Structure 1
């Protein structure tokens, strides 16, 4: 790949353009908002001028509702040898393209893709060249997809240092409804409980509520586009969640009962919900996509000052301990916080002793 055209210079399009440009590809940028394309160009993502001729690959990074029309326009003017989109749904754009009456050759030059990466922020200023590094990038080739186009898409994914995953388009849409779209709505539903909550309650927020509501900070307009393109699978999943919530409410009400048998039944219902949650959580892939590993935490009290985390990591390195994950919970009203250093169980005593020796305050 020597040349590319990125249509849509938001977070995903600009991040892909930055990755391509860093690998020596001449990238042309286009957007319905010329100022956004100029911003992406100023960041080093390419040039906001039109290509002189046909480019190797066109990357369509526009909202799902506009993917098919944008692809069709680019195909009809012969913008590229191959075309991909990066929308978060895949079945609809392919069917929409067919409905627009494009010929077999045009359809063969297209492959739907979806990089499984993003941020709560949007726009070119939020983009980074390493946004996709180590993340799955789904490809949904059709029966007639041209091999050259598939190879161009794989080359793009390699430049972005992502991991290619091949799926059927409709299977992809059901999968992202489960692991992305439905959780996003549930996160928003939980966060919505905080909107009019008493300030004294909100001040008690800890890491648990922060984890659950983090993705609720995403741009609503973008998510309306996403959910409008995949409403059926998301609604089916939310219906299942609603049924589980109804059962959980009944179990909790039973725990309030004066009848001991009802209380026992309610406790059993809650226990089953928690058991199913534990079982599902263990299926979430662990480090590097491998089976999840059980880690234990060493909790360290730190001051909110520059260099504290670097010191802890350096001290852990000197002790020969690999930090598998890290979480920070900031203290309310204090310039301090608790850092949870996640390590394999056998490393806990080694790390604890090493950090205490170097003056760190360990919390149990």
Structure 2
């Protein structure tokens, strides 16, 4: 197969595990003309991923240059060990969201780790399986590469070529630093979102009918697969527990203040906890990784075909770049709210131009 010059990968890539991540890797590479060899313990998963165009079944006729292991966390070490033995010339990586546990298993098994590099794309969806896979899943997302002292630089470069081909941004990080980081930015938020969403299960339909975008934002990831998350959380339990203990202390302070809100200092304690949240949010990097604040404008958009597209078109005609977008649409309402973010220096002009074109600006 002739690989387009736009592809950095020159040899076949074997993908073991044709679920969401594995099939998405396959789709992204196939879009660049890379020969993708698929394997999966489930014949149905494999067949479906092939039907969607994520690659071809690996018949053993060619040797892969690179192997991507995309299996559940509790199987990673076993599968990586088997792949290293079966393909002695290939570089092997995995995409599990925990890196310390499989590495420890491989070391205990006496594996030759000179060709193994753990990695983790910070991308996903609430639903899994090959049917949810997308070729653009990794575009613009960080992809952590956990090299170790003595790791061959050529092997790291090969893995980074795969990452760049998929549109992601490689980020080199030590294995333990990675697990501590994802405990904070991914694993603990999953627990918090799930526990909040669980409170909704016993609520009335009338109460849920009042839910706005804030609740949906907080609980969105609670739709993720429990079976997968039990494995992830179990593999990174110490780091998650440390954060949850601190979170429990925060909750205890809030409970104490709310328990007697008229007590001296109670309102100040609440204000400090809420202000701490403001500070944390302000540290999240925005577009292109910039730590920069944008100015929001809330535009009322009629619920009819083409209105949102017209808003985008007219923003382009005005010459204002859309830095971020959030949509909110209450059930039964005939109008939606589009919260657009622009650079502060463009705020007043954007409001005036949109108003002149007939758009209603909230507030």
State TM-score, norm by structure 2. Answer: 0.94
For 1:331 and 1:300, the matched residues in 2 are separated by 15
**Once the two structures are superposed, what CA deviation does each residue of 1:286-343 show, in whole Å capped at 9, x if it has no partner?**
11111132x2222222222222111001111111111111111113322321111211
For 2:297 and 2:172, the matched residues in 1 are separated by 39
* Alpha-carbon distance change, 145 to 249 in structure 1, aligned in 2, over 3 angstroms: same
Provide structure 1 residue ranges, at least 5 long, that are not aligned to the other structure: none
How far the C-alpha of 1:355 sits from its partner, in A, is 1.9
Which aligned pairs between 1:126-165 and structure 2 lie closer than 5 A?
A: 126-165=132-171
How far the C-alpha of 1:156 sits from its partner, in A, is 0.5
How far the C-alpha of 1:80 sits from its partner, in A, is 5.0
Residue 101 (1) aligns with residue 98 (2): no
Q: Does the CA contact (< 8 Å) of 1:58 and 1:80 recur in 2?
A: no
Residue 112 (1) aligns with residue 121 (2): no
Aligned to 2:254: 248
* Alpha-carbon distance change, 265 to 8 in structure 1, aligned in 2, over 3 angstroms: same
Aligned to 1:321: 320
Residue 16 (1) aligns with residue 25 (2): yes
Q: Does the CA contact (< 8 Å) of 2:14 and 2:58 recur in 1?
A: no
Which aligned pairs between 1:29-68 and structure 2 lie closer than 5 A?
A: 29-68=38-77
How far the C-alpha of 1:79 sits from its partner, in A, is 6.2
For 1:10 and 1:80, the matched residues in 2 are separated by 25
Aligned to 2:179: 173
Structure 1 segments, 4+ long, off by >4 Å, are: none
Q: Does the CA contact (< 8 Å) of 1:254 and 1:265 recur in 2?
A: no
Aligned to 1:122: 128
* Alpha-carbon distance change, 101 to 193 in structure 1, aligned in 2, over 3 angstroms: same
Q: Does the CA contact (< 8 Å) of 2:13 and 2:34 recur in 1?
A: yes
For 1:332 and 1:38, the matched residues in 2 are separated by 39
Aligned length: 354
Aligned partner of residue 145 in structure 2, secondary structure: strand
Residue 358 (1) aligns with residue 348 (2): no
Provide structure 2 residue ranges, at least 5 long, that are not aligned to the other structure: 1-9
For 2:344 and 2:68, the matched residues in 1 are separated by 45
Which aligned pairs between 1:185-196 and structure 2 lie closer than 5 A?
A: 185-196=191-202
For 1:34 and 1:145, the matched residues in 2 are separated by 35
How far the C-alpha of 1:54 sits from its partner, in A, is 2.2
Aligned partner of residue 193 in structure 1, secondary structure: helix
Across the aligned residues of Structure 1 and Structure 2, the Cα RMSD in angstroms comes to: 1.4
For 1:144 and 1:351, the matched residues in 2 are separated by 54
Q: Does the CA contact (< 8 Å) of 1:177 and 1:230 recur in 2?
A: yes
Aligned to 1:85: 94
How far the C-alpha of 1:59 sits from its partner, in A, is 0.4
Deviates more, 1:168-177 or 1:347-356: 347-356
Residue in structure 2 matching 1:230, options 236, 244, 247:
236
Aligned to 1:303: 302
How far the C-alpha of 1:346 sits from its partner, in A, is 2.8
How far the C-alpha of 1:344 sits from its partner, in A, is 2.0
State TM-score, norm by structure 1. Answer: 0.94
How far the C-alpha of 1:356 sits from its partner, in A, is 2.2
